[in-house]
Amino acid sequence: MSDNVEPASLDPAAKAELDRAFEELYRAHLRDVYSYAYYRIGNHHDAEDLTEQAFLQAYRHFDRARRESNGRPLRPWLIRIAHNLALNYYRDRSRRPQTPLDSAEPVPARHGTEAIAEGREELRQVMDRLQHLPDDRRDALIMRFALGMDNREIARALGRSDGATKVLIHRGIKQLEEEMNSDLE
């Protein structure tokens, strides 16, 4: 079977198995891909679009990715697709200036307790400061803390070594802490 085989060109039994496996992958990782897109881009509408695009691309190359993964999890591969689409998103936006977002806050909860409000304000501050980090540090921190990926998964998603990823995360945390502390002064 060629690497460029479209899923629709497979025999019906092979396509049914591929679709079933892809549906499992989709259900298992939809939240992760969307979360990455949201934290990376900062608004729900564009994050939904990016998530849809990521899964469409993934479906086109799913058969080959499964064969080449040698049984390793495909989550880093999916996040890598979303990562590349996010880079394209920013590249395209830089070509077409747009009105800045007024708010990148999560959808407010129905229960407006003081603790939730304080937590949301802190999250907004962290997300604002995250935008000041270099792309690679921001991406690594989103993958680590928003998605709970381990260093090896992040390294695969970013195409880096485990050691370089560990340093990247450490430097990202340190820079984010410095940014947050400068706000307190």
pLDDT in tens, 150-177: 999 999 999 999 999 999 999 999 998 8
Helices (H) and strands (E) in the chain, counts: 7, 0
The CA-CA-CA angle for residues 27, 145, 180, to 5°, reads: 145
Query: Residue 81: which residues within 8 A CB-CB, separation 6 or more?
Result: 54, 57, 58
Please, which pLDDT band fits residue 1 given cuts at 50, 70 and 90? very low
pLDDT in tens, 38-91: 989 888 999 999 999 999 999 999 999 999 988 899 999 999 999 999 988 877
Closest CA to 86 of 147, 44, 37: 37
Distance CA 128, CA 39 (A): 10
- 70 touches 22 (CB < 8 A): no
Domains of the chain with bracketed CATH: 1-104 (1.10.1740.10), 113-185 (1.10.10.10)
pLDDT at 102 > cutoff 70:
no
Least confident of 6-10, 38-42, 114-118: 114-118
Rounded to whole angstroms, the Cα distance separating 125 from 179 reads 10
Q: Which residues are CB-contacts of 52 (< 8 A; sequence separation ≥ 6)?
A: none
Q: What is the pTM of this model?
A: 0.67
Give 3-state DSSP helix, strand, coil % of the chain, rounded to 5: 75, 0, 25
| Token pair 């690497």: residue | 3
In whole angstroms, what separates CA 27 from the centre of its chain? 15
CA dist list (Å): 4 to 1, 20, 79, 91? 8, 20, 21, 27
